[in-house]
Structure 1
Amino acid sequence: MGENRIFETHIHLSSIDNDLELKQWISFEASFFYLNVATSLEESRIVIKQTKQFSQVFATIGLHPLYLPSFNKKDEIIEELEKLIEENKGKIVAIGECGLDFYKTKEEKDWDLQELWLREQIKLSIKYSLPLVLHLRDAYTKALEILFEYPNLRGIIHSFDGSLKEMQQFLRLKGEWFISFSPLVFRNFSKFKTLIKWIDLKKILVESDSPFLSQNQSICRPLLSLISEWKNLPLKDVKKIVFQNSLQILRLKVEKDNFKA
């Protein structure tokens, strides 16, 4: 099961604010399943509302490192996030997108705020046994330091763009970690070919990060084809295993073609 299905593990459907357009988007790729990713408390509410309309769409809730509120609002916001999780079990399957972005923020005070909020979202991940969806830019070293403090976390390194050594370090963390490859692959074939040839297929996920990295709704198809080529494995086998990887990290089960958390 799963050889004809594709799980797109990072998409921002909240960028589509028209219900008809959203339905057309979802129906265009009938074999696709989606992890609909939030970046703020407000967007988390939108993502949940969208997700409830479609059996093949699941939600994350969380705070993106570039759109963080004051830490003085921590208790209020964490309480709201916990309420959303409690009220939407089965549809909220991950925490994020959270993380560290030292590429667009250059001041240490901003980095400190990002770390504080990341740690709060790690606590949510632990409390509710939900994986993290991590956004990391120019921050792999710091992220590894932080994650090392929390054994047995689960998570996805979204749109990985680091070195082979950095990827190996994430995969050596205690717990359960997957590397998600995005359209960035098409910008540097040589680099990503090295990464993909090295990594175990059972640790690979695929994503579009639409609408930010691609407007092509079907971009995960050529991504999977490249993985198949570079791994020298049949495409149907690659699709099946990567699909199962998505189910594994999100703790989803297939019951008579319906997905349940």
Structure 2
Amino acid sequence: MSRLIDTHCHLTYNPLNKMVKEIVEQKDLLMVSVGTNLDDSRKNIALAKKNTHVFASVGIHPSEIKPFTHIVGVQTVLEELVIKEKDNIVAVGEIGLDEKIENISSEDQEKYLDKFIDIAVANNIPIIIHARGKNAINKIIENIEKRKAQKEKLSGVFHCFTGNFKQAQKIINLGFYIGLTNIICNCKDFDKIISEIDINKILCETDAPFIPNKKTGRNYSLPSDVKFVYKKIAEIKNVKIEETKLIINQNSVNLFNFDR
């Protein structure tokens, strides 16, 4: 039976941080534990070094850029971390834009995002994108389109995708992946989009401990809950679950270059 890969979770967040030992003992489950600030990123690297089933990404979530006053300074610190730990990380992220954040202007968010993408490009590492809001998704697509037009080598995933089909198709045409969570299990709003997009450009994730599957009765999610996402995609695509796992797992390997 094929293993499961949760391409986006937060093992350092409560309550997962109290359950890490049990979580990482699940040998049929690989996880990317995603950084949201510098300290969190360092913690994820430490987890990845200790556990062969955990991979780390380093990044600064748009809600976490507020404490920094010098964009060049934070870019330097993050880039130094990426260079130092390049063998222990699989991506830069999560980084992006969020329209729900009111105390950080969209202009400032865009400036930081641009610098963070520069780091990924310079180090040939994929990015994990946080894009909340229709305009946020479009702005990031435009950023990537400009970079691709300049022949920049850039890959990544739009994590927890909640956009429309047109946006999804643009993302796929840029060579990026669509990350799907248990949101697709909790409502049918995305069934049509999933049925129409290429399964070879889909990744499965939980964003644990966020976005619990309603079936579990928990108010938090676990990385193992990614099984529900695989199952839902298999149902919508009318593909056997084992075949779905094989395809989507290969997508994950193609993007993140897992070597364990």
Compute the TM-score of the two structures, normalised by the length of structure 1. Answer: 0.88
For residue 256 of structure 1, what is the aligned residue in structure 2? none
- In 1, Cα distance between the equivalents of 2:118 and 2:167? 24
CA distance 1:55–1:16, change in 2 (3 Å): farther
Q: Which string of whole-angstrom CA distances, capped at 9 and with x for unpartnered residues, describes residues 115-174 of structure 1?
A: 00100011011001111100001111222222211114201000000111111111122x
- In 1, Cα distance between the equivalents of 2:28 and 2:118? 34
Does structure 1 retain, via aligned residues, the 8 Å contact 2:14–2:209? Answer: no
For residue 19 of structure 2, what is the aligned residue in structure 1? 21
Does structure 2 retain, via aligned residues, the 8 Å contact 1:16–1:22? Answer: no
CA distance 1:192–1:19, change in 2 (3 Å): closer
For residue 255 of structure 2, what is the aligned residue in structure 1? 249
- In 2, Cα distance between the equivalents of 1:129 and 1:188? 36
For residue 32 of structure 2, what is the aligned residue in structure 1? 35
Whether 1:203 aligns to 2:208 is: no
Extract unaligned runs of 5+ from structure 2: 213-219
What aligned pairs does 1:36-75 form with structure 2 within 5 A after superposition? 36-69=33-66, 72-75=69-72
Aligned length: 246
Query: 1:225: Cα distance to partner?
Result: 1.0
For residue 137 of structure 1, what is the aligned residue in structure 2? 132
Q: Which string of whole-angstrom CA distances, capped at 9 and with x for unpartnered residues, describes residues 59-97 of structure 1?
A: 111110111145642233222222222222222110110
Query: 1:26: Cα distance to partner?
Result: 1.3
Structure 1 vs Structure 2 CA RMSD: 1.9
For residue 112 of structure 1, what is the aligned residue in structure 2? 107
CA distance 1:62–1:234, change in 2 (3 Å): same
- In 2, Cα distance between the equivalents of 1:160 and 1:18? 23
Whether 1:85 aligns to 2:82 is: yes
Extract unaligned runs of 5+ from structure 1: 254-258
- In 1, Cα distance between the equivalents of 2:85 and 2:9? 19
For residue 216 of structure 1, what is the aligned residue in structure 2? 221
**Aligned partner of 1:177: which letter?**
F
Whether 1:232 aligns to 2:233 is: no
For residue 181 of structure 2, what is the aligned residue in structure 1? 182
- Higher relative contact order, structure no. (Cα contacts within 8 Å, ≥ 6 residues apart): 1
- In 1, Cα distance between the equivalents of 2:258 and 2:167? 28
Does structure 2 retain, via aligned residues, the 8 Å contact 1:65–1:101? Answer: yes
Q: Which string of whole-angstrom CA distances, capped at 9 and with x for unpartnered residues, describes residues 8-47 of structure 1?
A: 01000111589773111211x3211011101111211111
SS at match of 1:103: coil
For residue 166 of structure 1, what is the aligned residue in structure 2? 167
SS at match of 1:36: strand
For residue 216 of structure 2, what is the aligned residue in structure 1? none
Does structure 2 retain, via aligned residues, the 8 Å contact 1:9–1:34? Answer: yes
Does structure 2 retain, via aligned residues, the 8 Å contact 1:41–1:77? Answer: no
Does structure 2 retain, via aligned residues, the 8 Å contact 1:71–1:113? Answer: no
